[in-house]
Structures are given as structure tokens and as C-alpha cells.
Amino acid sequence: MEILLQQLFNSLTIGSVYSLVALGLTLVYGILHIPNFAHGALYMMGGYITLTMMTAFGFNYWVAMFVSILVVGLIGVLLERFVFRLLREAPPLHDKIAAIGILLFLEAFAQFVWGADFQTMTSPYGQVVTIMGLTFTMQRLLIIVSAIVVMILLYLFLKKTFTGASIIAMSQSREGASLVGININKVAMLTFMISGGLAAIAASLASPINLVFPGMGHLVILKAFVIIILGGMGSIPGAIVGGYILGFSESLGATYISNDYKDIIAFVLLVIILTVKPTGLFAKGER
């Protein structure tokens, strides 16, 4: 029983990180209509910027994370303005090539600036809390709580504000949104900004339990792809639910079936869900 509870807690931690990354990916999918391969690199940049703010400028963890959200958000905006907007009329393949190019560029850039070594982000929340035989660390509780807060805020923003509604409108139909007077350039940039910000939050939260290094984006990006396919491309609840499903299937699969097969379990789940619902759990009708 203890093991089950411990593993449920572990899967919540990892699921939260997955969900945050997948959310950013799914939002941009609404604009680009291709998965943004560079999203993992934005995640990595987020980790490095938070770390640099903490070590080089001595910022508090939260301040550093805030700066990181702004910087990575800005990188997102620049990518939209100077890469993807120019490719708007081009065939979708060009977007994909550009995204891969950005991924390679950012990784090489990080290695050039920060070096190839593994770096540690020391969060002020390293304490270990043991309650009834279960081990929590403050950082892990923080990941879970922050992820939920961010998700609620994002939901309120998208559903209750006019700007949020215009993002949804645009992901449903770019022409339609444009016809009703939405400035699609502005919305596209805003979406990239939010997506980058989410990546920065996820990286800043997850880095203290792992390491910061140029290849860290690969740890999450493949899983984020699986999640958005599973949840339905472009769907926000899909990304959230998908993230937790993957987190749970990995942890519980590793515990009760086999650690060596836990990735297979996740993919079998994907196959089953897609067989029953080929568009993913929460896909919108038209796509």
C-alpha cells in the first residue's frame, strides 16, 4: 500500500512536468499545425536561464523563474516573428525543417555559451518530508502544486478573457478569426510567448530534481509528442489529461508490470486509445 501511494505521488510529479511541456506544444500546434520540434530546446533554454539568473546574478528562485519565463517567452515571440511567420504561405514541410533547425541551433548555442557539462540547480526547497512512511521532497510538492495553479490560470485566461478567446478562435480557424477582426499576427506571437513561458516554468520546476544540460529537452519532448497525440492534437484538456496518464502509466507500469517495459506500456496505451478514438481523447471535430 505504501509503495502504491509513493508511486502515485511519483507519477503526479512527473505527470505535472509532462503536462506543462505538452500544454505549450499543443498551444503552438493550434498556430503552426505542426508539432513544434523546437519546444524541447525552449524547455532547455528555460532551465539554463533560470540557473544563470540564480548563480550569476544571485536572484531568488522565483525571481529567476520569472525572468526565465519572460526571456523564453521572448525567444518564442522572435521565432514566430522571424521564422514561422515568414513561412506561413510555405508548404508545412518548411515549418518542420525550420523547427528542427531551431532545435539544433539552440542546442549548439547552449553548449557554446554554458558548456556541455551537467549543472545542478539548487532550489531552496530541498527538504525531505516523510509522512506516514511516504517520502516527499518540498520541490516535488512544489512541482505538483505549481503545475495545477498554472493550469488553472491558463484555463481562466483562455476561457474568461477576450485575448484568450481569440487564441482559441485562431486555433479553430485562422481565416475565420481574421474575418471577425482578430489580429492574427498579434495572437500568433502571444501564443508563442505563452508556449515559451510554459516551457520555462516546466524546466525551472523540474531542473532541481534532475540536471541542467544541453540535451535536457530530449527527456521530455518525445513524451510530450506522445501526450498531444494521445490527448488530441491542439487540445488543452487533452494535454493535461494525457500528461498525467503517461505519468501514471510509467510509474505504475514500472512497479506492477516491469520497469524494462514501461515505455511499451505507455505506447500500448497510445495504440488502444487511438484505436477507440483515432483523433485522440479530446480532439476537436474538424481536425
Chain positions contacting other proteins, by CB under 8 A: 3, 6-7, 10-11, 13-14, 17, 107-108, 111, 115-118, 120, 128, 130, 135, 137, 140, 206, 209-211, 213-215, 218-220, 222, 250-251, 254-255, 258-260, 263
Between 121 and 158, CB nearer to other proteins? 121
Between 93 and 128, CB nearer to other proteins? 128
Cβ at position 271, least distance to other proteins in Å = 19
- The full DSSP string for 4-48 is HHHHHHHHHHHHHHHHHHHHHHHHHHHHHSS--TTHHHHHHHHHH
Between 20 and 28, CB nearer to other proteins? 20
Cβ at position 21, least distance to other proteins in Å = 10
In the numeric block, which cell numbers belong to residue 208?
532541481
Cβ at position 76, least distance to other proteins in Å = 22
Cβ at position 54, least distance to other proteins in Å = 16
User: What 3-state DSSP class applies to 78?
Assistant: helix
Between 13 and 166, CB nearer to other proteins? 13
With a CB cutoff of 8 Å and minimum separation 6, the contacts of 76 are 42, 192, 193, 194, 195, 196, 197
Between 166 and 251, CB nearer to other proteins? 251
**Do β-strands 134-137 and 128-131 pair in parallel, antiparallel, or remain unpaired?**
antiparallel
In the numeric block, which cell numbers belong to residue 118?
551537467
Distance CA 15, CA 111 (A): 28
Cβ at position 20, least distance to other proteins in Å = 12
Between 30 and 247, CB nearer to other proteins? 247
Distance CA 270, CA 140 (A): 27
> Does residue 9 contact residue 131 with C-beta atoms inside 8 Å?
no
Cβ at position 219, least distance to other proteins in Å = 5
Show the CA angle centred on residue 147, arms to residues 281 and 189, nearest 5°.
Answer: 75
Distance CA 62, CA 184 (A): 32
